[in-house]
Amino acid sequence: MEFKIGKHIIGDSHPTFIVAEMSGNHGGNLETALEIVRAAKRAGADAVKLQTYTADTITINSDKADFRILNGNPWSDYSTLWELYNKAHTPWEWHEKIFAEARRLEIEVFSSPFDSTAVDFLESLGVPAYKIASPEITNIPLLERVAKTGKPVIISTGISELSDLELAIATLKDNGQKDIIILKCTTSYPAPPSESNLLTIPDIISRFGVISGLSDHSMGTAAAIATVALGGRLIEKHFTLDNSEETVDSFFSSGESEFKRMVDDIRFIDQALGKVTYDITPSALPSLRGRSSLYIANTIRAGEIFDSSNVKSVRPSFGLHPKHYKEILGKTAKKDLEIGDRLTWEVIN
């Protein structure tokens, strides 16, 4: 299975698609947002992703208990959901400039919408794909609207059960969308390794017949690299500037230098995974001479018998194959042979 996101082909035989998630790491500053795009490009990301919402499109401005952020939550400094999202959102009037900068740099740019008005807005900007954040996996009207755009859809599984995922995929397909990527995700910040369950990725691929990958909230780069080895073809990781001031998501985001190391390692693995083959590779062919073969280990005269004292299996590989060793024992030499002579059929009676 393969399809395109912008100019990039996503699929098993193609390089891993690596997405830098900006989220709220711009800290409310447009120039920081633009610099994040530039840094993502320098770090080797294939795409930068935004989140398109306002506090009013994602929640209600209420301080009732349902809308208050609980103690112990990483964002408990913000008393309500509205306050958090009002702080973290990417202003819609910035989008055009951010998209223009990404396109100037030839890095893909797309976003996560959280309601139909965001989809309409993103369509006006010509996004090449949509990302459904894991809390929206049960937002069936949003899934229906996104599917009908005809653009590839990426879904995170973070707070979904199997039945939620099955319903989401069925909704997309029922509305004409077949280009689907399912990202394993642990919606915990940062995500503990013990809850990453990366072995779910190959199961997603086989169970649903879709492309899979990881929306990575863990610290470091190991989970992302392991995902590629398990067959994941898309990695999304939160991205911030190395010298960034603290922002709403910076505490679990990768800076440019760490992100670049991850990209370099993934590109190495993309090549190293290769294909299923038992052939000797071109670069290894010169090493064939290092294999063992049968050689004369002691001087032997014509008519004398080959035995374990005068025939050995040693390096290099220019003599007979060692599989003939027992067959040779007991036969006689056609001519005089010296130590280091190759044993060949031509010298054996």
CATH number for the domain spanning 157: value is 3.20.20.70
Q: Is residue 26 part of a domain?
A: yes
Is residue 1 domain-resident? no
Q: Which of 273, 300, 321 is the last residue of a domain?
A: 273
Is 255 or 74 the better-scoring residue by pLDDT?
255
pLDDT of 82 > 80? The answer is yes
- φ, ψ (nearest 5 deg) of residue 179: -90, 95
Domain boundary among 273, 306, 323: 273
Q: What percent of the chain has pLDDT over 70?
A: 98
| CATH (domain of 318) | 3.90.1210.10
Residue 117 lies in a domain: yes
| Inside any domain, residue 124 | yes
328: tokens are: 């040779």
Give the span between the Cα atoms of 305 and 321, in whole angstroms: 19
Boundaries of domain holding 252: 10-53+89-273
The domain tally of the chain equals: 2
Q: Which amino acid is at 49?
A: K
Q: How confident is the model at residue 75 (pLDDT cuts 50, 70, 90)?
A: low
Residue where a domain stops, chosen among 273, 296, 331: 273
Percent of the chain with pLDDT over 90: 84
pLDDT, position 76: 64
Residue 218 DSSP one-character state:
S
Q: Measuring CA to CA, which residue among 59, 101, 108, 104 is closest to residue 84?
A: 59
Query: Which one, of 26, 3, 80, lies nearest residue 245 by Cα?
Result: 26
Same domain, 171 and 241: yes
Yes or no: say if 304 and 330 are a contact pair by the CB < 8 Å rule: no
Q: Are 108 and 102 in contact (CB under 8 A)?
A: yes
Q: What is the mean pLDDT of residues 76-103?
A: 91
Query: 269 and 289, same structural domain?
Result: no
Which residue shows structure tokens 């194959």? 321
Question: Is 81 within a domain?
Answer: no
Q: What is the mean pLDDT of the chain?
A: 94
At 77, the amino acid letter reads D
Residues 168 and 36 in one domain: yes
Same domain, 193 and 174: yes
Owner of token pair 């003599």? 319
Q: Report the pLDDT value the prediction gives residue 79, as an integer from 0 to 100.
A: 78
pLDDT at residue 52 tops 90: yes
Q: Is residue 187's pLDDT more than 80?
A: no
Under DSSP, the state recorded for 303 is T
Tell me the three state secondary structure of residue 198. coil
Judgement on whether residues 49 and 170 belong to the same structural domain of the protein: yes
Residues 78 and 114: their CA atoms lie apart, in Å, by: 20
Q: Are residues 295 and 242 in the same domain?
A: no
Alpha carbon dihedral 151, 19, 95, 152, in 10-degree steps, equals: 0
Say whether both 325 and 235 belong to one domain: no
Q: Are residues 199 and 327 in the same domain?
A: no
Query: Counting Cβ atoms within 10 Å, is residue 97 exposed (0-12), middle (13-18) or buried (19+)?
Result: middle
Average pLDDT of the residues in 342-347: 97
Global confidence as pTM: 0.88
- The count of residues in the chain is 349
- For residue 31, give the 3-state DSSP assignment: helix
What average pLDDT score do residues 146-171 get?
95
